Structure 1
Amino acid sequence: MTTTPTADAGPGEQLDALDRRLIHALSLDGRASFSRLAAVLGVTDQTVVRRYRRLHGERLLRVIGLPAADRLGMSENWLRIQCAPGAAAPIADALARRPDTGWVKIHSGGSEVACVVRSFSTDERDALLLQKLPRTQHVTGFTAQTLLHTFTSTTPSRWLDGSGLTAEQARELARPQPAGDGEEIRPDAADHILLDLLARDGRTGYPELARATGRSESTVRRRLEHLREAGALYFDVEILPVHFGLTVQAALFATVAPHNLDEAGRALARHPEIPWVAAATGTTNLVGTVLCRDRRALYTYVTEGIGALRTVQQLEIVPVLRHVKRAGLLTDGARLREPPAR
């Protein structure tokens, strides 16, 4: 594990057993100290530091801090943008450079761009939806769905197939479920800086967070912990699914009856093929992401996995042609290494 991985390395070749356990550990507590991680994994602090720095430095792993929109007064919209032939790539690149976009991808066929837009105010949202997009050259149309409730968050632990932590190790790192109730949290200017830094690197140290926000380290530590306990901020691990042998990605759009929406969303969230699914406005009131090993596995999942859910009335599966941005990370200047699609 000392050589630099190349772009054409096969799935799984860059991750050994300790790497996978470390990834699982960070998915449970992305800000756990190196000493705590080492104690749980049964290795030295120096080993954990070296492993983490290699994975992070080679763009194989990133811990990210993500806001919970419903707790912070944000609106989240899922956009499907239809483009003129040949225009999808530059439009996707322009969207990816916006600070308010999360996942930006180009769907198969190459003429549709999909992305998640997070806005702290209706003015921010409307500026994009009512002014910029309609005036953008080569945009032929778009739909916007408001995300109402997220059932899952992306975590690689479900893809480890028994190669992650033991149940006892996982219990040592697992954090209590956030309260997620009470009054909405209105972030101030310092909070915005804090969230921006953690979105780029969820393990940013307290001294750097304190300098950037103008707060003391103890104040930053307390504020960060308060946001986590209130369910307004959570930490996830971003790693390319192809490194777990998952080479096919697709977007899911499903229609269910309103009284079955929660049941269907929770059922999909339990499927290992679904890293993220959310209830949304519109006729396709469940949107999500599907990850499978290959096209045959995708067919099996659609026919047997989703097919077993009698609550799903209509289904659209759209393969992803290209990821342009992942959870706030541009794929150009700070690209995660992604082997070519198979």
Structure 2
Amino acid sequence: MDEFDEDLIRALQLDGRAQFSALAAQLGVHRTVVAQRVHELLSTEEIRILAAVHPRAVGLPVQVNLQFRISGPTSPVFERLLEFTNVVFLSEISGQSQGVVEVWAASLDEMGRSVRAIQAIPGVGEVQFTIYDRVLRRLRLGEDPDPTELAFDSFDIELMGELQTDGRLTFGELARRTGRSASACRARVLRLLESGVMRIGAVRSRRNATTSVLAGVGIMLSGDADGLDSAEELLLTIPTIEFGARTLGRYGLIATIAARSIADYTEIVRTIREHPSVSRVETWVHAYVWLERYEWSLDRLERLQEG
């Protein structure tokens, strides 16, 4: 993919409902160029534009990252992990470990059961456990929503369900599908977006061959709280970091880098290593992403709302 495609996808990751004219102005090209390329990216499934509902909004505040080693064939292990309903990200990686899985849960007890079930899968060996203490950046999910905004009704749930399938549905189409007015749909969607409960953006196909590199970084820190704050600020200045979190476990910080090339990735890691509070950096490349989940069933949302 060329630089234009990377810039366009990045813009759509941040705002999947952006108007073609706004994207054209941002990228310095004609509107028809943007419209044509977006339609091509969607038709070839290079990207999907979907609504993502924040984990706190679906009652899953406990989130962990697990790295694990595999003895023997890898595919049976990943195929088994695909059956876990609370696995939201699953990747085969390079390096000493063979896999990374991100799991969301309603409680520490539930998380414990999930981790033990993963450890029991035949072929899974050493597992390194890292819990997210505070998420610094989530490209697809944004900031944590205000707790007062976590209440929503059946109309909200219906809209979220439709937008999880196609995030660029017009307000007119949403009105037709929900039996409400277009203005009511518009007001509710904007409220959900502004509250942080939901975000709409592009999800790219990680399996298609591109020049981009998706990599993980585990950062071990030395020093005091000021050093930790400074290292966090450094991560937030790097625009190609899709995810960053303060963590408990093996690492003090963990991040996901969507670099445009190996050279770009290498330069970013060098910058992180040079920070005075960073004592060690471990890296891995996501060689094959098996799952990147943002959709949640309406049944789960409805049960949560009833509870």
Query: Is this a same-fold pair by TM over 0.5?
Result: yes
- Residues 1:103 and 2:69 are matched in the alignment: no
Contact 1:88–1:111 (8 Å) recurs in 2: no
Contact 1:101–1:328 (8 Å) recurs in 2: no
| AA matched with 2:256 | T
2:269 is matched with 302
Deviation at 1:88, TM superposition (A): 3.1
2:51 is matched with 65
In the TM superposition, what whole-angstrom CA distance separates every residue of 1:56-76 from its partner, at most 9, and x where no partner exists? Answer: 011222223223335665324
2:235 is matched with 268
Comparing 35-44 and 140-149, the one that deviates more: 35-44
1:3 is matched with none
* C-alpha spacing 1:323/1:191, structure 2 compared with 1 (3 Å): same
Deviation at 1:105, TM superposition (A): 0.5
* Mapping of residues 208-287 of structure 1, within 5 Å: 209=174, 217-239=182-204, 245-246=211-212, 248-256=213-221, 257=223, 259=225, 260-287=227-254
What stretches of structure 1 of length at least 5 have no aligned partner? 1-10, 156-176, 330-342
Say how many residue pairs are matched: 290
* C-alpha spacing 1:21/1:298, structure 2 compared with 1 (3 Å): closer
SS at match of 2:138: coil
In the TM superposition, what whole-angstrom CA distance separates every residue of 1:193-245 from its partner, at most 9, and x where no partner exists? Answer: 54454344322344665677676654443332112111222233333688873
Distance 2:104 2:52 in 1: 11
Contact 1:79–1:142 (8 Å) recurs in 2: no
Contact 2:64–2:104 (8 Å) recurs in 1: no
Comparing 198-207 and 32-41, the one that deviates more: 32-41
* Mapping of residues 177-216 of structure 1, within 5 Å: 180-181=145-146, 183=148, 185-187=150-152, 191=156, 194-206=159-171, 209=174
Deviation at 1:254, TM superposition (A): 0.9
* C-alpha spacing 1:219/1:293, structure 2 compared with 1 (3 Å): closer
* C-alpha spacing 1:25/1:289, structure 2 compared with 1 (3 Å): closer
Comparing 280-289 and 318-327, the one that deviates more: 318-327
1:75 to 53, 58, 61: 61
Contact 1:86–1:111 (8 Å) recurs in 2: no
* Mapping of residues 84-95 of structure 1, within 5 Å: 84-95=70-81
Contact 1:73–1:184 (8 Å) recurs in 2: no
What stretches of structure 2 of length at least 5 have no aligned partner? 296-307
Contact 2:273–2:280 (8 Å) recurs in 1: no
* C-alpha spacing 1:70/1:285, structure 2 compared with 1 (3 Å): farther
RMSD over aligned Cα atoms: 3.9
* C-alpha spacing 1:212/1:263, structure 2 compared with 1 (3 Å): farther
1:31 to 17, 29, 40: 17
**Comparing both structures, which one devotes a greater share of its residues to strand?**
2
Distance 1:81 1:222 in 2: 42
Percent identical: 24
| AA matched with 1:62 | R
SS at match of 1:252: strand
In the TM superposition, what whole-angstrom CA distance separates every residue of 1:55-114 from its partner, at most 9, and x where no partner exists? Answer: 101122222322333566532423325344234322223334544332211121585321
With normalisation by structure 1, the TM-score equals: 0.67
Contact 1:68–1:232 (8 Å) recurs in 2: yes
In the TM superposition, what whole-angstrom CA distance separates every residue of 1:151-177 from its partner, at most 9, and x where no partner exists? Answer: 23348xxxxxxxxxxxxxxxxxxxxx9
Distance 2:70 2:29 in 1: 55
Deviation at 1:140, TM superposition (A): 2.9
With normalisation by structure 2, the TM-score equals: 0.73
| AA matched with 1:78 | V
Contact 2:72–2:123 (8 Å) recurs in 1: no
Distance 1:39 1:250 in 2: 30
Contact 2:11–2:23 (8 Å) recurs in 1: yes
Contact 1:87–1:111 (8 Å) recurs in 2: no
Distance 1:38 1:219 in 2: 29
Contact 1:86–1:110 (8 Å) recurs in 2: no
Deviation at 1:250, TM superposition (A): 2.4
